[in-house]
Amino acid sequence: MKFPRNAKILRSHFDVAPFAAVFFLLLIFLLFGTLIPSAGIPLRPPTANGLPGVDTPSVEVAVDANGSLYFQNQMATERVFINGLRVATNTVRAPLTLIIHADKAVSYETLVRLTLLARDYGITNTVLATLPRVEAAPANP
């Protein structure tokens, strides 16, 4: 037995207006999404090539161009940083390394101050975090 077809094939013209409206809404959402500030500290670290990494437990601190300290992802004073160093050295028995994420504009005096504070708590290794240097690809002759 053959059943009659009730479905009718689309025979009218294709309306593009709803699809264009959805496309433009998506475009607006994407454009506004790029304007939302991202989390993090605005740092411009120096660039260097061929530097070794760290394979031991580490303590990290960031210093922005204004000299503000950031320890454990929060803005911190020097006293909070010292307490964090004390806690880190008491909980980890292996030798620690201090990693300093510093902006290019941070003074040498600030870097030495952080290194000396870490040395007071038994952290003798200090590493300055850098970005890899971007070199232009050689042209093929």
pLDDT in tens, 13-35: 778 888 999 999 999 999 988 88
- 3-class state of residue 102 by DSSP: strand
Under the banding of pLDDT at 50, 70 and 90, the label for residue 61 is very high
Considering the domain boundaries, does residue 4 fall inside one? no
Contact 125, 98 (CB under 8 A): yes
Considering the domain boundaries, does residue 74 fall inside one? yes
Which string of b and e fits 91-125 if b means at least 16 CB within 10 Å? eeeeebbbbbbbbeebeeeeeeebbebbeebebee
How many distinct structural domains can be found in the chain?
A: 1
Considering the domain boundaries, does residue 14 fall inside one? no
Report the alpha-carbon distance of residue 111 to residue 102 in Å, rounded. Answer: 8
Mean pLDDT estimate for the chain:
85
Q: What residues make up the domain containing 101?
A: 47-132
Proportion of the chain above pLDDT 70, given as a percent: 88
The arithmetic mean of pLDDT across residues 40-62, rounded, is 83
| Residue 83: CATH number of its domain | 3.30.420.270
Considering the domain boundaries, does residue 62 fall inside one? yes
The burial of 45, by beta-carbon neighbours within 10 Å (0-12 exposed, 13-18 middle, 19 or more buried), is given as: middle
